[in-house]
Amino acid sequence: MKLISCNANRPLSEAIADYLDMRLTRSEVKTFADQEIFVRIDENVRGEDVFVIQSTSYPANDNLMQLLIMMDALRRASARRITAVIPYFGYARQDRKTDGRTPISAKLVANLISASGADRVLTVDLHAGQIQGFFDIPTDNLFGGPVMIDDIKERFGRDKIVMVSPDVGGVVRARALANKLNADLAIVDKRRPEAGKSEVMNIIGEVKGARCIMLDDICDSGGTLANAAAALKDQGAVSVSAYVTHGVLSGNAVQRIEKSVLDELVMTDTIQPSESALKSKKIRVLPMSPLLGEAIRRIANEESVSKLFDR
């Protein structure tokens, strides 16, 4: 098999290659003066099982086009099978019609990926489970939970912890980790007056005297986590940490996290962290390369991927 990387998160691609004791296939991805993207693969890939690693994070449209053009180049170079490894799947929050005359962009992107030559998709923590059904090709959705569970056990030991879902939509995710950690569960009941803004209403569950761990798939502006942390501290929580899979951290999110009462934000490297995030004393990054690398190895060897989570 061969690994090939676009430009969205080169460090993660190199870490996956190191885990698999391989090197990345030589390629060139550049942008012309008029912002058109050009791709060239500098090695023979005929008959190969190729894994293209690319998160469709900011700038989402550029990174998505890099992925599509790279897969088209591989298909025209007669690659035997093309797997799109998308650690962070952009447009995932547009997974349904929210009003009249609005698109379902996640389905459109899924169609584009299939049409560009992908034979299968490997991704991490899709925002909504139904997106897996948007693809008409085999799709493996990995979970960041095992990586987070190991870190939580190491950091918190035997302390009394409460897993917290920052909204009602994340209850299933938080309950799953709470069961594995034998922890209690709490829920933040919030109301979102407009897109990008949230207002905490109530805390459902007992958090007084506990170390609270919020769990979410995406941290975008940081407002939800900051508001929820303040509400949990008001209810008597000893500390509040947040674990998220995808650290989008748009705009002044890092500054918002820094100024909040949140003790720590732990995120994975599915999206390449910004310099400000890496310098922040409140933000810590967990590597996803072992999980992604092992999943790629299993796919290449036609082994079970789901057994990665049987524990």
Specify whether 19 is located in the same domain as 133: yes
Q: Give residue 177's pLDDT.
A: 94
Encode pLDDT of 29-77 as tens digits: 999 999 999 999 999 999 999 999 999 999 999 999 999 999 999 999 9
The answer, yes or no, to whether the previous bond of 59 is cis (omega within 30 of 0) is: yes
Residues 269 and 294 in one domain: no
pTM of the full predicted structure?
0.94
**Domain CATH code at residue 237:** 3.40.50.2020
Average pLDDT over residues 181-185: 95
> Which amino acid does the sequence have at 155?
R
Let me know whether 149 and 124 are in one domain: no
Q: Which H or E run includes 155?
A: helix 145-156
CA neighbours within 13 Å on the CB side: how many for 30? 6
Q: Which of 99, 15, 2, 105 is nearest to 60 (CA)?
A: 105
Residue 4 pLDDT: 98
Mean predicted confidence (pLDDT) in 153-181: 91
**Per the structure block, which two tokens stand in for 210?**
């506990």
Are 152 and 204 contained in the same domain?
yes
3-state secondary structure of 60: helix
Whether residues 118 and 154 share a domain: the answer is no
**Are both 230 and 296 inside the same structural domain?**
no
Burial 187-221 (b: 16+ CB within 10 A, else e): bbebeeeeeeebebeebebebeebbbbbbbbbbbb
Same domain, 235 and 263: yes
Whether 215 and 260 share a structural domain: yes
Overall domain count for the chain: 2
Asked whether residue 136 falls in the same domain as residue 156, the answer is no
Would you say 45 and 2 are in contact if contact means Cβ atoms under 8 Å apart? yes
Q: Which H/E stretch holds residue 267?
A: strand 264-268
Distance CA 99, CA 180 (A): 38
Same domain, 182 and 132: no
Pair 152, 90 in one domain: no
Measure the CA–CA gap between 86 and 56, rounded to whole angstroms. 7
Joined tokens for residue 259: 């100024």
In this prediction, residues 129-156 reach a mean pLDDT of 94
Range of the domain at 132: 2-142+290-309
% of the chain beyond a pLDDT of 90: 88
Predicted local confidence at residue 35, as pLDDT: 94
3-class secondary-structure state, position 293: helix
**Catalytic amino acids?**
190
With a CB cutoff of 8 Å and minimum separation 6, the contacts of 23 are 3, 17
Tell me which residue has tokens 């951290």: 249
